[in-house]
Amino acid sequence: MVTSVAPRVESLSSSGIQSIPKEYVRPEEELTSIGNVFEEEKKRDGPQVPTIDLKEIDSEDQVVREKCREQLKQAAIDWGVMHLVNHGISDELMDKVREAGQAFFNLPVEEKEKHANDQASGNVQGYGSKLANNASGQLEWEDYFFHLIYPEDKRDLSIWPKTPKDYIEVTSEYARQLRSLATKILSVLSLGLGLEEGRLEKEVGGLEELLLQMKINYYPKCPQPELALGVEAHTDVSALTFILHNMVPGLQLFYEGKWVTAKCVPNSIIMHIGDTIEILSNGKYKSILHRGLVNKEKVRISWAVFCEPPKEKIILKPLPETVSETEPPLFPPRTFQQHIQHKLFRKTQDALLNKQS
Ligand code: OGA
Ligand code: NI
């Protein structure tokens, strides 16, 4: 088999090319919906991603507390994505996480290559770019750094960036704080389904088994941003995803049949409900389709942390309490691994069909 090595997108970007290689050009049908992200972000009309203020999530006052929790629950039902503010993680820590990741990506490509992953041998952790994994050969305009950050005993610190010096300390502290935030969110979502507080946390593996995987997405400047995508349209397979970014717009959500561009909300963390919670809740909480645009002017970086159940140990299916005669199960039982395989299979089938037609 001939495998071609895709170049780092950063190298392509800095080479000065005026037009992008054809593998990065989206199919005709998709191009009509891709616009200038800065223009898109300015639009004030139409639906907007909700902002949820978590300040009162544990308020002593029951009425105040319930109001806050209800808003979180409604956003999870209606959108499945939201800007979280007053989430309890300090601006200083978030800035340090951003600075640490930025400093790694500031290294020359040759330095970063020392951390390259080896996807062919199943080594997904490290520095990488997407390999074309279906018949279309389609590529995305990004490089990334991917690594497991929690639980601590499952980390492989040997592959973590050694530059900057405080990378490990800062990223580990962020992981611990996100892990407690995840517990809090999962408990509100559990109560929202009429379940015991700790139920969803337990169903996704609890403190021992729920894995936090960080993907630093690095989207270089693109000479033809209206032809490419940084990340193609997808839903996250995770239970929850938390995203920080460098205040450059890019994220779009497919809501009520239209692409909505997320605004940049200072000090917020974007949170997605992923497929895992959608399945467990029998579709009550939504895993929304989303994608990332790129632009000509500014490098965009985002820090996505995927909170994922173990690959084989748990069979994901709608919880019995979410199923009734009038609400039959919308998802067949599958392990997390089988769910990922199933999505990949469907995507490959689609690509083959499109090639024929
Ligand atoms: C992802 C993702 C969006 C972004 O990494 O799954 O959807 O804003 N990223 O970078
Ligand atoms: Ni995503």
236 CB under 6 A from ligand 1?
A: yes
**292 and 251 in contact (C-beta within 8 Å)?**
yes
- The answer to whether residue 10 is domain-embedded is no
Q: Which residue among 87, 236, 286, 339 is the active-site one?
A: 236
- The answer to whether residue 166 is domain-embedded is yes
> Is 234 one of the catalytic residues?
yes
Give how many domains the chain has, as a whole number: 1
Instruction: Determine the structural domain holding residue 236 and report its residue range.
Output: 26-308
Distance CA 270, CA 245 (A): 9
**26 and 229 in contact (C-beta within 8 Å)?**
yes
305 CB under 6 A from ligand 1?
A: no
The ligand with the least distance to the CA atom of 231 is 1
- The answer to whether residue 136 is domain-embedded is yes
Cα dist from 308 to 138, 163, 175, 188, 288, whole Å: 26, 27, 13, 18, 17
Cα dist from 229 to 5, 219, 250, whole Å: 19, 9, 9
Q: Which residue among 96, 215, 286, 339 is the active-site one?
A: 215
Task: Please give the distance, rounded to the nearest whole angstrom, from the Cα atom of residue 304 to the centre of ligand 2.
Answer: 8
Task: Please give the distance, rounded to the nearest whole angstrom, from the Cα atom of residue 63 to the centre of ligand 2.
Answer: 34
Q: What is the position in ligand 1's atom list of the atom closest to the CA of 245?
A: 8
pLDDT on residue 81? 99
- Sign of the dihedral through C-alpha 332, 334, 338, 340: positive
Distance CA 58, CA 30 (A): 44
> Is 245 one of the catalytic residues?
no
Strand partners, 241: 272, 306
pLDDT on residue 229? 98
Contacts of 261 (CB under 8 A, 6+ apart): 37, 40, 41, 43, 249, 251, 252, 293
Task: Please give the distance, rounded to the nearest whole angstrom, from the Cα atom of residue 146 to the centre of ligand 1.
Answer: 12
Task: Tell me the pLDDT of the chain (357 aa) as tens digits.
Answer: 444 456 899 999 999 999 999 999 999 999 999 999 999 999 999 999 999 999 999 999 999 999 999 999 999 999 999 999 999 999 999 999 999 999 999 999 999 999 999 888 888 999 999 887 667 789 999 999 999 999 999 999 999 999 999 999 999 999 999 999 999 999 999 999 999 999 999 999 999 999 999 999 999 999 999 999 999 999 999 999 999 999 999 999 999 999 999 999 999 999 999 999 999 999 999 999 999 999 999 999 999 999 999 999 999 999 999 999 999 999 999 999 999 999 999 988 887 887 665
- The answer to whether residue 159 is domain-embedded is yes
> Is 83 one of the catalytic residues?
no
∠ CA 204-260-31, nearest 5°, is: 105
Q: What is the CATH number of the domain that holds 132?
A: 2.60.120.330
Distance of CA 276 to the CA centre of its chain: 13
Q: What is the position in ligand 1's atom list of the atom closest to the CA of 270?
A: 8
State pTM to two decimals. 0.96
Residue nearest to atom 6 of ligand 1 (CA): 236
Q: Which of 314, 290, 156 has the alpha carbon at shortest distance from 233? A: 290
- The answer to whether residue 284 is domain-embedded is yes
> Is 272 one of the catalytic residues?
no
250 CB under 6 A from ligand 1?
A: yes
Q: Which of 144, 238, 243, 275 to mutate to test the pocket of ligand 1 (most atoms within 8 A of CB)?
A: 243
Residue nearest to atom 8 of ligand 1 (CA): 251
The string of DSSP codes covering 220-280 is: ---SSGGG--SEEEE---SSEEEEEE-S---EEEEETTEEEEPP--TT-EEEEE-HHHHHH
Task: Please give the distance, rounded to the nearest whole angstrom, from the Cα atom of residue 60 to the centre of ligand 2.
Answer: 35
**Amino acid letter for position 69:** R
The ligand with the least distance to the CA atom of 273 is 2
249 CB under 6 A from ligand 1?
A: no
- The answer to whether residue 40 is domain-embedded is yes
**41 and 249 in contact (C-beta within 8 Å)?**
yes
- The answer to whether residue 142 is domain-embedded is yes
- The answer to whether residue 218 is domain-embedded is yes
348 sits in which H/E element: helix 336-356
pLDDT on residue 122? 83
pLDDT on residue 282? 98
Q: Could you tell me where the beta strands, DSSP code E, fall in the chain?
A: 51-53, 81-85, 126-129, 143-150, 211-219, 231-234, 240-245, 251-255, 258-261, 269-273, 290-292, 300-308, 315-316, 334-335
